[in-house]
Amino acid sequence: MKRIIAAAAVTLFTASLALAADVITLPAKNGDVTFPHKKHQELLKDCKVCHEKGPGKIEGFGKDIAHKNCKGCHEEKKAGPTKCSECHKK
Ligand code: HEC
Ligand code: HEC
Ligand code: HEC
């Protein structure tokens, strides 16, 4: 019985870790942006597209980087949101 409880606890723990990394909320005054991180990892494969200096927090991340990088790629590939309200949800 003890073992079953321990296994369940481990499953719960890994599930919550995976959730934290799957989708990242990027806060913005004009509406937070829900960023499907895992989906982009799988889609783009290369972390360096967004993480020049390696995985983790992105130094100076904000409007300028986001619009150039995120919106820029969506426009170029003609896929993914490019309208303000498609990214910024109130
Ligand atoms: C399309 C852009 C993009 C791609 C591709 C991408 N990431 Fe990220 N990642 C982000 C953004 C944006 C953040 C949030 C950055 C911040 O808050 O400073 C982030 C955050 C992270 C974090 C920190 C998570 C946290 O909760 O603090 C890690 C770790 C990470 N990414 C790893 C990776 C790895 C590994 C890959 C490649 C397999 C990858 N990322 C690919 C955009 C991307
Ligand atoms: C592809 C998604 C995307 C689109 C499209 C987009 N934005 Fe953003 N925007 C972001 C992200 C991501 C941030 C950075 C959030 C952060 O710093 O955590 C941001 C930041 C901002 C900020 C700064 C918010 C703050 O709290 O400082 C403003 C203002 C803004 N965007 C306005 C706009 C307007 C206006 C449009 C349409 C012309 C637009 N955005 C289109 C993703 C997008
Ligand atoms: C190098 C290219 C690239 C970059 C950089 C990129 N994206 Fe995307 N993104 C895509 C593509 C391609 C899609 C369309 C995926 C699909 O429809 O399956 C997409 C889809 C999305 C979607 C819609 C997801 C859905 O499930 O409908 C959101 C939201 C999004 N991106 C936000 C962002 C934000 C925020 C950033 C920057 C932190 C970003 N993207 C950076 C290529 C990119």
Cα–Cα distance measured from residue 6 to residue 38, given in angstroms and rounded to the nearest whole number: 28
Of 20, 80, 63, 69, whose CA–CA distance to 46 is shortest? 69
Alpha-carbon torsion 12, 15, 16, 17, what sign? Answer: positive
Per-residue confidence in pLDDT tens, the chain, 90 aa: 566 655 555 555 554 444 446 999 999 999 999 999 999 999 999 999 999 988 889 999 999 999 999 999 999 999 999 999 999 998
Say if ligand 2 is within 6 A of residue 67 CB.
yes
What is the number of residues in the chain? 90
Residue whose CA lies nearest to ligand 2 atom number 31: 63
Say if ligand 2 is within 6 A of residue 58 CB.
no
Using CA atoms of 50, 68, 37, 78 in order, give the dihedral in degrees to the nearest 10: -120
